[in-house]
Structure 1
């Protein structure tokens, strides 16, 4: 595989317009298996009203006639989470990512603002935290993932924004608080910044790298980069990203930027008052590292109601952590009336908004086939996309699938080259495409 290259040119206006039109045109093409509006009396229950759940609600509402569709999700606001890194980098404001949840749901769909308490798959029933019990004929699990900050001793989401602690994952407000802590580091004129990575699967695996790169840009802009020590701690051996070509690029770039790499180290404790992080090494030793700023990536899993249920993988590396589904059909391997979409699923890849865009039409097609007693023909290929920010103003469009195979969408965009155009795509173009996905339009 060729190494990543530095940009040699910027696309011209004509090509950039072509990109926008071409991308939009490609997005609205049908999945390939066209179904007429299908009649059914099925009771469909969707768990989770985030990106995956909302997209599935709209798709199934458009595809089915006569179905009773209920979606469960507590949050009154929907958050465009791909914007969190831009907020934490000082480029966006919180209000740019928040919209009312109800605005994205068709009036025909029943929305219950609650969360899942327990699942009873043998009875085809779910109990909610508000006391309700719901029965279903078909279940879509799209709850997203759970951020397990408490598995880091001394850490909780409430600490984000205090004494040098940042984390881009917890919330839009947490991203804003993270930006304030980075600004404090910059104002100090010197200090040590630590960036971490969890040893569990995480959503948006590029976010820890993006935060490192944008912080480096901001430190370089001070003209005092040498006054700051920047270190990255990874649980893995010489690895910060799962796809080798991108991993190699990041490590080479960080070497050029004097970023220290500490591998085989897992963040296990935080002493907030002393501003000291404890990492556990591969041989079990505990090492303390002082910091002025630290970006924390929490361990992640499916929500407790999922991972402690019969729906979770019961064996293997994802046992009791993620939803057990077939990685191609997105159908549960033991309960055929259950499908999964989004961050909750236990597959090798697939925890980004771009993944949902590819998963949703597959799940829709296979759900329609299941309801009609037809073979499930649609397959998800593991597609995941991450506009990997390499500095403020440049990014690489990393697109890949199962096995780490590169899967570029645009023939005129080199997937191994950073460019201004991909940065513009990240900052300006992806949010409208995301909202079209929520509406079931792409």
Structure 2
């Protein structure tokens, strides 16, 4: 089936699909130019192009390496996920050194690096590699998760399971032939306390690569991004509560591309959409909208096969559990795993149909 057909299956009547990419956005003329040469005028514009994976930022790495020489990379698509599993399953049977990474940029589902780490550790502990492997996790800063109380919980789980955390280690190069990964490691100078960056090489038998992630070029190159933060990433400059562009009020941003402190999860989009809808309708009717996005983000953090923690939080790092009397957010529970594995698919489908 053509991907366009998949999209039209979800579109309501009266919506016209333009099956071309956006090549340029002119916020002054209020037009969108497409790769097919069309120029589409707008009165109100919602940008929701997601993000792009910057694999080229990692020296020596290319996607055709995934699945070979112990290299995994889940984000690039289903085939790369399958190839990753080939490399990971070899590690869980034979053992060795497992090395898991997380980029310095904002990223979609920031809990994903931890999920993969926990799962491979769990599978290896019950497979042929039991007693013959070690797990290392390279954190992008001095924390394991953006919410302090969750970071501490993860730290405790790492300690309990013998997973070694390397703080402020950013993957910069891969030597696949020698199975060596080079990291830019930041540590304080023992005398002055100033941050010192040095290259550190770590060996691996299995390496999980997650590349830096950025807004698509059509966003970064055309003046819609923040000028004073996330300058290397290009997220859209929006009000964190209304998701409306701060300089071009006709433009709203949804999902990963929105330049807000939290919110790069599908669950976040579920809460963003009603806010944008409210302000969009208000603009059409010549009034002010009232709905506010509070940064709601959800991360079903898988910690074992069959166990997960349902982490939900807001802009202020407050835990905001949806089922406080049923699901304790920092407990490894079967019901949280079940929600991740079964219930979320139905929720995603409902979202696509505008019913959730």
TM-score (norm 1): 0.75
Gaps of 5+ in 2: 187-195
- Indicate the SS of the match to 2:79: helix
Q: Which residue among 218, 228, 236 is the counterpart of 2:123? A: 218
Return the offset for 1:159: 2.6
Answer yes or no: is 1:233 the counterpart of 2:233.
Answer: no
Answer yes or no: is 1:271 the counterpart of 2:175.
Answer: yes
The CA distance in 1 between the partners of 2:267 and 2:16, in whole Å, is: 26
* Equivalent residue, structure 2, for 1:249: 153
* Equivalent residue, structure 1, for 2:35: 129
The CA distance in 2 between the partners of 1:383 and 1:320, in whole Å, is: 21
Return the offset for 1:192: 1.1
- Indicate the SS of the match to 1:437: helix
The CA distance in 2 between the partners of 1:306 and 1:250, in whole Å, is: 34
Provide, for residues 259-291 of structure 1, a one-character-per-residue CA deviation record: whole Å limited to 9, x for no partner: 111111110111222222110112231112221
Q: Which residue among 338, 344, 347 is the counterpart of 1:430? A: 344
Asked whether the 8 Å contact 2:92–2:120 carries over to 1, the reply is: no
- Indicate the SS of the match to 2:17: strand
Answer yes or no: is 1:151 the counterpart of 2:57.
Answer: yes
The CA distance in 1 between the partners of 2:115 and 2:244, in whole Å, is: 33
Provide, for residues 43-90 of structure 1, a one-character-per-residue CA deviation record: whole Å limited to 9, x for no partner: xxxxxxxxxxxxxxxxxxxxxxxxxxxxxxxx9549xxxxxxxxxxxx
Return the offset for 1:116: 1.9
The CA distance in 2 between the partners of 1:194 and 1:375, in whole Å, is: 50
The CA distance in 1 between the partners of 2:158 and 2:350, in whole Å, is: 36
Answer yes or no: is 1:333 the counterpart of 2:246.
Answer: yes
Asked whether the 8 Å contact 2:95–2:128 carries over to 1, the reply is: no
Q: Which residue among 82, 88, 91 is the counterpart of 1:185? A: 91
Asked whether the 8 Å contact 1:313–1:320 carries over to 2, the reply is: no
Q: Which residue among 104, 111, 116 is the counterpart of 2:10? A: 104
Residue pairs, 1:278-357, within 5 angstroms: 278-282=182-186, 283-318=196-231, 321-357=234-270
Asked whether the 8 Å contact 1:154–1:271 carries over to 2, the reply is: yes
Return the offset for 1:217: 1.0
Calculate the aligned-residue CA RMSD, in Å: 1.7
Q: Which residue among 291, 303, 318 is the counterpart of 1:390? A: 303
The CA distance in 1 between the partners of 2:233 and 2:76, in whole Å, is: 22
The CA distance in 2 between the partners of 1:172 and 1:125, in whole Å, is: 34
* Equivalent residue, structure 1, for 2:319: 406
* Equivalent residue, structure 2, for 1:208: 113
* Equivalent residue, structure 1, for 2:19: 113
TM-score (norm 2): 0.93
The CA distance in 1 between the partners of 2:319 and 2:108, in whole Å, is: 19
Asked whether the 8 Å contact 1:385–1:397 carries over to 2, the reply is: yes
* Equivalent residue, structure 1, for 2:191: none
- Indicate the SS of the match to 2:202: strand
Pick closer, same or farther for the CA change 1:401–1:121 going to 2, 3 Å. Answer: same
Q: Which residue among 347, 366, 380 is the counterpart of 2:279? A: 366
Return the offset for 1:227: 0.5
* Equivalent residue, structure 2, for 1:72: none
The CA distance in 2 between the partners of 1:199 and 1:337, in whole Å, is: 31
The CA distance in 1 between the partners of 2:184 and 2:157, in whole Å, is: 26
Answer yes or no: is 1:138 the counterpart of 2:34.
Answer: no
- Indicate the SS of the match to 1:409: coil
Answer yes or no: is 1:441 the counterpart of 2:346.
Answer: no
Count of aligned positions: 346
Asked whether the 8 Å contact 1:308–1:320 carries over to 2, the reply is: no
Mean alpha-carbon deviation: is it higher for 398-407 or for 107-116?
Answer: 107-116
